[in-house]
Chains A and B, each alone.
Chain A
Amino acid sequence: MDVLGRYRNLIVLVGVLFAQVLGLAVQVRRPTDNEPTRLIRIWAVDMVTPLEKALGWAQTSSNNIWHNYFYLRGVRAENRSLKAQIERMSLEQVRMSQDADQARRLQALLAFKEQFISQTMAAQVIGTSGSEQSRSVYIDKGEVDGLKPDTAVITANGVVGKVLLVYRSTSLVLLISDHSSGVGALLEKSRIEGIVRGTPAGEVMLEKVMSDESVSVGEQVLTSGGDGIFPKGLLVGTVTKVTPGSELFLNIHLRPAADLSKLEEVLVVTKIDQRQAAPDKTGAARAADILAERLPTVPSKPENAEKGPAPETATPKTAIPKTVAPANSGLDAKPKAAHSDALTSSGAPATRKPVTSASSPVNSSGNPSGAPSAAKPAASGIDATKLSKPVKATTEPKPQPAVEDIPH
């Protein structure tokens, strides 16, 4: 008893430490994803996150009041420069849609399935984990908003991380700079695959690239889609340094595309769809089709004309629309409007940048009113030199493929 009283503090200390080590051991032995969240986590998060949300709301409100009512200096000049920027980006979008069309046609030839982000949810970053050993942030969306673990989180600039834990109204997002994260990635030009991991110091590295591979500084790194969380083609970062590493691999340092130290709003990818890549049949006709229509054909019998021709004999179908082109112009307007809706909501090809709303990837060009009709001849520049206006008419009466492009 005398010993117990004399060493009481030390005994209590050992007991408390032992209990905590036991608790730690229990957790480490059961690292399953389906394990229910610990109550202590829920309590701690519920204590801290409401105040974080309130502060975030207060800051946003005060920023809005300041910018919308007080800080109006330079708004007109900024408006002008933004309009000019929009015009430049529209032209660039036309060019990029042509590249997307070509890529889609090639994909269709090889029977690839393309993955695209069909739905995202915006979320505000309200807090961090507060520890350098756990590089993660809290967002203000949770189970009530339909979020689930292992969901990709991105910004307009690039990949941010994935949802790790989902609480009732908040979620914990593990950043790509955390040492326990991993993203399947590939180099843009060389298509060499690797794994993007964080380091304990918070840097982002591309690992598992053999030392005999050639990697250049400045090359961009995209998601490969191999991890099943991030769709293929999202921008992860840029190579900043390449040094020989231990064993047989290179040490490739990356600069993340998204600024992980200044996150305010992020997008959670809530739905990824897959579909067979189809060429844009509302775009300019292929040269083969156009030449085929100019070749002399044997007039077909009525019963044969009713039957659908084989795909390679598309000539009769393409010939028919000449007589109904005016009537179909209205139909043509609908798919084009659908395309323009998809464009204005997406803004960029999904293969390079994340789309920000429920829309399919860019598959035609232009702004709502006149640009599509102006772009299509430009898109088929070579064909345009050989063709006259009936080319457009031949493409008009094919609304069915355009239905696929209508965003859901």
Chain B
Amino acid sequence: MAITYTSGEQVEVYRFSIPATVLIPLTAIFLQAWLPLRFPFFTLFDLPLLVTIGFATARRNPLAGLVTGGLIGILQDALTHQAIGLYGISLTVVGFGASSLGIKLDVENGGARFLLTIFFYAVHEVVYFMIARGLVGSHMAWSWPHEVLSGVSNALLGVLVFMLLDRVKQRT
């Protein structure tokens, strides 16, 4: 049973089977690359980020979270024409943070997941922006309306993605 921050009970830790661990991130990356072709508005969403947060909060293991985030981010970078590591670094930070926070907080209800997703979307964007502008020298523009819209959209989609992940996760 999930607990709140002040509770003394032990949190439940979940795991995913190996096929789910491999196929779900790959499916997310594939859909992220293919769906904008048919639905141009889909570039607003970030499926790999949502999957990273979902895996990290379910496993509640910072090591697993950061490794999963790093790998998913590097694969996401590889499909773009930019340097490999931009998404890798940001998703590594998100994976670590989400799993660390998942130990402390109740992330099983929809409201918590919504807020958690918005928070880590903001972290992801800030880290990406800093790396792209600071290290790579890329020209990036920060648009508050776009970021707010994208954050809320990803949070709503995230709630659905986490519900799907609940069906495949296994108790340890």
A residues with CB within 8 A of B: 8-9, 12-13, 16-17, 20-21, 23-25, 27-28, 38, 40-41, 43-45, 47-48, 51-52, 55, 125-134, 136-138, 164-165, 172, 174, 178-180, 199-201, 261-263
Contact = CB atoms under 8 A, between A and B. Distances in A.
B136 A24 contact: yes
Interface string B58-89: 00001100110010001110111111111111
B139 A27 contact: no
A220 B141 CA distance: 27
B81 A201 contact: no
B33 A129 contact: yes
B66 A13 contact: yes
| Most chain B C-beta atoms within 10 Å of own C-beta, residue among A13, A126, A136 | A13
Interface in B26-44: 26, 29-30, 32-34, 36-37, 40, 43-44
B79 A27 contact: no
Contacts, number: 140
Contact of A9 (B96, B140, B146): B96
A48 B85 contact: no
Given A24-B131, A200-B140, A131 B43 contact: yes
Contact of A131 (B74, B80, B96, B139): B80
B2 interface: no
Contacts of B75: 40, 44, 47
B33 A13 contact: no
Contact of A129 (B79, B138, B140): B79
Nearest to B70: A16
Interface in B112-171: 128, 131-132, 135-141, 143, 146
Given A9-B62, A12-B62, A51-B34, 7 more contacts: A9-B100, A16-B70, A27-B83, A43-B78, A127-B33, A131-B80, A172-B81
Contact of B29 (A48, A126, A133, A165): A48
A103 B143 CA distance: 47
A48 B79 contact: yes
| Most chain A C-beta atoms within 10 Å of own C-beta, residue among B66, B67, B80, B139 | B80
Interface size class of B (residues with CB under 8 A): 35 or more
Contacts of A126: 37
B37 A125 contact: yes
A41 B135 contact: no
A45 B96 contact: no
Given A20-B92, A130-B36, A28 B83 contact: yes
A172 B80 CA distance: 9
A127 B29 CA distance: 11
A130 B29 contact: yes
B33 A52 contact: yes
Given A48-B30, A172-B81, A133 B40 contact: no
Contacts of A13: 62, 66, 92-93, 96
A127 B92 CA distance: 25
B26 A24 contact: no
Contacts of A129: 33, 79-81
Contact of A130 (B76, B131, B136): B76
Contact of B81 (A21, A28, A136): A136
A17 B33 contact: no
A289 B30 CA distance: 66
A27 B141 CA distance: 22
28 contacts: A9-B96, A12-B62, A13-B93, A20-B74, A20-B92, A21-B135, A24-B83, A24-B86, A24-B89, A27-B83, A28-B83, A40-B78, A41-B84, A43-B78, A44-B78, A127-B33, A128-B33, A128-B43, A129-B79, A130-B29, A130-B33, A130-B80, A131-B79, A133-B132, A134-B82, A164-B81, A201-B141, A261-B40
